Structure 1
Amino acid sequence: MPVSEAVIAMRTSAWLRPMGETDLDAVLAWRNAPSVRANMYTTHIITPGEHARWWSQTRDDPSRRYFIYETPDGPCGVVGFTRIGEITGEAEWAFYASPDAPRGTGSRMEWLALEYAFGPLALQTLRCEVLETNTRVIELHTRFGFVTAGTAIRQIDQAREANIYRLALDKGVWAGLRQSTLDRLDRQQGTAR
């Protein structure tokens, strides 16, 4: 199975699967939710046309891969990897969930994303950027082993600037945290084995 089509699953009945055309409406709705837009570099409401153009540029681009986070109750989040291969062994990632997603979704999405990044994608380092005001996500990434690799100022909607944190996680650090993190997620969901 090609790396881009890999399905990554966890024992807590959740998985990532490749994003497809049938997911576009749900992803657009999640992306346009006020709680999601508030933490993006582009905060305006994305039109269906903009979304379609983004997808047409993204779906066949080998430097980008997008996945849907799904549970037995249905899809409830998106995970994206970008800049794959621009620097050997590195990529960037981002994610967001449906505003209706159950508590703990972000942690399970992150675990699956790291499994993909350091497994099938075979990265050495995974990077991300987070708005300084998005403290919950910064704290989440830190619990998963990400460290601050710098700060910067980014343009938001061409109307304002915002401080961001650049975070990075190395494969070796994740290898040391992987099992204990999965065990913690299982305990939180009441499915420890």
Structure 2
Amino acid sequence: MLRGATEDDVNLMLSWRNQETNRQVSKNSHEITAEEHAAWWSRVRTDPNRRVLVYVRDGRPCGVVTFFELRLDGPRTGSWGFYLDADGLAERGETLPAWLEVMRAAVDHAFDELRLDRLDGEVLADNTVVRQMNRRFRFVEGIPEMQVHDGREITVVPVSLDRENRRRR
């Protein structure tokens, strides 16, 4: 289940984002400071082109899904990303089912709630597990691009999923 993020979620979101597992697969791999996170939250919580949602599994908050660059007039498009409480889910042996569930919930939210025509995202080229999962959900990869973030050179692969290509249960 996804629900809107609130002020009560801010510290939890920061702790998950700073988990080593999540930093390794993010474009910005540095540890986010409390000040950076507060500034981000201040910007996004009222931005009409963004949504920040908390993924809840068995009554427990377990991750964050963000939608951004939402264009809701004309062709309805948006970008997305997510991260999970990797450490907590791994301890409970719930990583894979949670990952499948959050992706399903996010895709459903994008097309059923936000009514997008296309959902875009990015993945690091060396993150083969996520790339494989994206293909399972029928995301199509674009042309990889070299970028520099946090002083490291990375290859970023754009992905997209059109409404008509989405996998239905």
**Alignment TM-score > 0.5, same fold:** yes
Deviation digits for residues 125-181 of structure 1, max 9, x if unmatched? 101100011111111111001011221112211x1221111111010011xx211xx
Aligned: 1:77 with 2:63: yes
Distance across 1 between alignment mates of 2:76 and 2:148: 27
1:91 match: 78
Structure 1, unpaired ranges of 5+: 1-14, 180-193
Distance across 1 between alignment mates of 2:159 and 2:9: 28
**Paired residue for 1:29, among 1, 12, 15?**
15
State the shift of 1:72 in Å. Answer: 2.3
Distance across 2 between alignment mates of 1:92 and 1:63: 10
2:159 match: 167
Give the paired residue count. Answer: 162
Once structures 1 and 2 are overlaid, which stretch shifts more, 124-133 or 99-108? 99-108
Distance across 1 between alignment mates of 2:147 and 2:80: 17
Which amino acid in 1 is paired with 2:165? V
Q: Does the 8 Å contact 2:57/2:98 carry over to 1? A: no
**Paired residue for 1:144, among 125, 137, 145?**
137
Distance across 2 between alignment mates of 1:24 and 1:34: 18
Structure 2, unpaired ranges of 5+: none
Root mean square deviation, CA, Å: 1.3
| Mapping for residues 8-157 of structure 1, pairs under 5 Å | 15-85=1-71, 88-99=75-86, 100-101=88-89, 102-103=94-95, 104-157=97-150
Which amino acid in 2 is paired with 1:34? E
Which amino acid in 2 is paired with 1:98? D
Moved over 2 A (4+): none
State the shift of 1:40 in Å. Answer: 1.1
Aligned: 1:178 with 2:164: no
Report percent identity of matched pairs: 34
TM-score calculated relative to the size of structure 2:
0.92
